[in-house]
Amino acid sequence: MKKLLIGASVLLLSTGAFAQTTMSGSSARFGLKAGVNLSTYSGTGVADLDYKNNVGYNVTAFGDFGIGNNFFIQPGVSLQNKGAKLESSGTIAGTTTTGTFKQDVMAIEVPVNAVVRIPTGDAGAIQVSAGPYVGFNISGKNKYSGSYTNAGTASSTFTDRDLNFGSETSDDLSSIDFGANFGLAYRTNSGILVGANYGLGLSNLIPSDSRTNDVKLRNRVLGFSVGYSF
């Protein structure tokens, strides 16, 4: 999916300059969109695990500021629900574990995207976007469902707990994330917007005091949203 979105972005950005102009350099509008996230992690070293998608949500306020014919800059402020899941069932060193571990993370992101608009007649226009984002992890929780049994003793359950963000070894994740967004959307001339976005995390989420050369953890987020701009 990542390669598909990146390929579509490159193709449409290269052809967008030839589209008819219906949005000038003096145009500006504002909007709000919200939707569903399918988020996971990409890890290396001991963090290279079989992560499953965590279902979350996204809410974004944004502005479109035209700087050329059908080309504009789109800054925004976004609330992003991220994280991942791990499922376990097996026995290691006498400990039998069965259950699901889920990490929910709430982040405030500030994306700044460059957008090419490709008009499709009187109906609306395709919008292709790409750009950087910086994110700030503000809250989160580790959630467990299941139990473990140690060498035949009574079964115990895991305890949910809040996440700590920072750079120390006692922290769970780094407090700051940055990466790149790639988006594809359709906006009708009445202002209704439907789209998809892929967030490619580039920073290491492992707290800096706990990092080694081969251990990295990065966000991967596929989001779908609907919205309105005017």
| 71 domain-assigned | yes
Question: In angstroms, rounded to a whole number, what is the distance separating the alpha carbons of residues 163 and 172?
Answer: 6
| 55 domain-assigned | yes
The answer for residues whose C-beta is within 8 angstroms of residue 37's C-beta and 6 or more apart is 54, 55, 56, 57, 58, 80, 81, 82, 221, 222, 223
Kindly tell me if the per-residue pLDDT of 199 is higher than 60. Answer: yes
The answer for residues whose C-beta is within 8 angstroms of residue 220's C-beta and 6 or more apart is 2, 39, 40, 41, 42, 199, 200, 201
Kindly tell me if the per-residue pLDDT of 86 is higher than 50. Answer: yes
Q: CA nearest 220: which of 164, 162, 177?
A: 177
The pair phi, psi for residue 14, each rounded to 5°, is: -75, -25
Using pLDDT thresholds of 50, 70 and 90, give the confidence band for residue 158. Answer: confident
The answer for residues whose C-beta is within 8 angstroms of residue 71's C-beta and 6 or more apart is 16, 17, 114, 115, 116, 117
| 114 domain-assigned | yes
Low-confidence winner among 41-50, 155-164, 174-183, 217-226 (lowest mean pLDDT):
155-164
In which domain, by residue range, is 182 found? 2-19+34-229
Coil vs helix vs strand at 2: helix
Q: CA nearest 138: which of 77, 183, 198?
A: 77
Both structure tokens of 29: 């509008």
| 123 domain-assigned | yes
Using pLDDT thresholds of 50, 70 and 90, give the confidence band for residue 146. Answer: confident
| 26 domain-assigned | no
Angle at 49 between CA 43 and CA 51, to 5 degrees: 90
Question: In angstroms, rounded to a whole number, what is the distance separating the alpha carbons of residues 186 and 24?
Answer: 18
| 186 domain-assigned | yes
| 213 domain-assigned | yes
Higher local confidence (pLDDT), 17 or 40:
40
Higher local confidence (pLDDT), 9 or 128:
128
For the domain that residue 161 is a member of, what is the CATH number? 2.40.160
Q: What pLDDT, on a 0 to 100 scale, did the predictor assign at position 5?
A: 41
**% of residues, the chain, pLDDT over 90:** 73
Using pLDDT thresholds of 50, 70 and 90, give the confidence band for residue 10. Answer: very low
| 27 domain-assigned | no
Contact of 159 with 141, CB cutoff 8 Å: no
**% of residues, the chain, pLDDT over 70:** 80
Say how many domains are in the chain.
1
Q: What pLDDT, on a 0 to 100 scale, did the predictor assign at position 30?
A: 97
